[in-house]
Structure 1
Amino acid sequence: MSDGAEFAIDEKGRRLALSGNYLVSTIAPVDTDLRAIDQQLSEIDLSKVREIDTVGAWIALSLSRATGGKIVGASERAQRLIDAISATESGGEVAAERAPLFTRVFEATGARVDAARRGTIWAVAFLGQFLLAAGTLLRHPRRFRTKAFVRQMELVGVDALAIIGLMSFLIGIVIAQQGAVQLQQFGAETLTVNLVGRITLRELGVLMTAIMVAGRSGSAFAAQIGTMKLTEEVDAMRTIGISPMEALVIPRVLAVTFMMILLGFYSAGMAIIGGAVVGELALGIPFGSFLSRIKDVVPIYDLWVGLVKAPVFGLIVGMTGCYQGMKVEGNSEEVGLKTTNAVVFAIFTVIVLDAFFAVFFTNVGWA
Structure 2
Amino acid sequence: MYTVLDSAESMLSYSQCFLLSYLTRTMTTQPAPSFEVQTAPEEISISLSGTWTTLHLDSVERPFMASELNAAPSIVLDVANISKLDTNGAWIIEQFRRKVLAEGKTCSISGADEKDKILLETVEKRSEEEIVTRQVPLLISILNDMGRCFIEQLKITLNIIGFLGEVVTTLVRSLFKPKNFRTTALFYHLEHVGIRGIPIIALLSFLIGMVLAYMGAQQLQKFGAQVFVIQLVQIAVLRELGILLTAIVIAGRSGSAFTAQIGAMITNEEIYAMKTSGLNPVDTLVIPRVLALLIMLPILGFIADIMGLLGGALMVWQTLDINLHGFVVRFHNTLNIWDFYVGIIKAPFFAVVIATIGCFQGLQVTGSAESVGRLTTTSVIESIFAVIVIDAGFAIFFAEMGL
Structure 2 counterpart of 1:101, from 136, 146, 154: 136
Question: Are the structure 2 counterparts of residues 233 and 100 from structure 1 closer, same or farther at C-alpha, using a change threshold of 3 Å?
Answer: farther
Deviation for aligned residue 1:324 = 1.1
User: Does the Cα contact within 8 Å between 2:266 and 2:367 map onto a contact in 1?
Assistant: no
* Alpha-carbon distance in structure 1 between the residues aligned to 2:395 and 2:97: 73
Unaligned ranges ≥5, structure 2: 1-40, 43-64, 75-95, 105-126
* Alpha-carbon distance in structure 2 between the residues aligned to 1:272 and 1:117: 39
CA deviation vs aligned residue, 1:113-153 (integer Å, no higher than 9, x gap): 65345424522431232122112201101211111111111
Residue of structure 2 in register with 1:143 after alignment = 180
* Alpha-carbon distance in structure 1 between the residues aligned to 2:304 and 2:220: 24
Aligned pairs for 1:24-173 within 5 A: 86=99, 98=133, 100-101=135-136, 108=145, 111-112=148-149, 115-116=152-153, 118-173=155-210
Residue of structure 1 in register with 2:27 after alignment = none
Question: Are the structure 2 counterparts of residues 187 and 106 from structure 1 closer, same or farther at C-alpha, using a change threshold of 3 Å?
Answer: closer
Question: Are the structure 2 counterparts of residues 274 and 107 from structure 1 closer, same or farther at C-alpha, using a change threshold of 3 Å?
Answer: closer
* Alpha-carbon distance in structure 2 between the residues aligned to 1:208 and 1:355: 14
Give the aligned length. 300
Residue 101 of structure 1 aligns with an amino acid whose one-letter code is: V
Structure with larger Rg: 2
Q: Which runs of 4 or more aligned residues in structure 1 lie more than 6 Å from their structure 2 counterparts after TM superposition?
A: 68-71, 89-93, 102-107
Question: Are the structure 2 counterparts of residues 265 and 90 from structure 1 closer, same or farther at C-alpha, using a change threshold of 3 Å?
Answer: farther
Residue of structure 2 in register with 1:327 after alignment = 364
- The SS at the match of 1:157 is helix
TM-score, normalisation: structure 2: 0.66
Question: Are the structure 2 counterparts of residues 305 and 186 from structure 1 closer, same or farther at C-alpha, using a change threshold of 3 Å?
Answer: same
User: Does the Cα contact within 8 Å between 2:263 and 2:367 map onto a contact in 1?
Assistant: no
Would you say 1:212 and 2:249 are equivalent positions? yes
User: Does the Cα contact within 8 Å between 2:259 and 2:361 map onto a contact in 1?
Assistant: yes
Structure 2 counterpart of 1:201, from 209, 214, 238: 238
* Alpha-carbon distance in structure 2 between the residues aligned to 1:240 and 1:131: 23
Residue of structure 2 in register with 1:345 after alignment = 382
TM-score, normalisation: structure 1: 0.72
CA deviation vs aligned residue, 1:335-365 (integer Å, no higher than 9, x gap): 1221111111111111111111111112222
Residue of structure 2 in register with 1:306 after alignment = 343
CA deviation vs aligned residue, 1:2-39 (integer Å, no higher than 9, x gap): xxxxxxxxxxxxxxxxxxxxxxxxxxxxxxxxxxxxxx
Question: Are the structure 2 counterparts of residues 113 and 304 from structure 1 closer, same or farther at C-alpha, using a change threshold of 3 Å?
Answer: closer
Question: Are the structure 2 counterparts of residues 139 and 98 from structure 1 closer, same or farther at C-alpha, using a change threshold of 3 Å?
Answer: farther
Deviation for aligned residue 1:98 = 4.6
* Alpha-carbon distance in structure 2 between the residues aligned to 1:262 and 1:222: 23
Deviation for aligned residue 1:208 = 0.7
User: Does the Cα contact within 8 Å between 2:207 and 2:311 map onto a contact in 1?
Assistant: yes
Question: Are the structure 2 counterparts of residues 331 and 255 from structure 1 closer, same or farther at C-alpha, using a change threshold of 3 Å?
Answer: same
The Cα RMSD (Å) is 3.5
Question: Are the structure 2 counterparts of residues 125 and 232 from structure 1 closer, same or farther at C-alpha, using a change threshold of 3 Å?
Answer: farther
* Alpha-carbon distance in structure 2 between the residues aligned to 1:312 and 1:90: 69
Deviation for aligned residue 1:226 = 1.5
Unaligned ranges ≥5, structure 1: 1-41, 44-56, 72-82
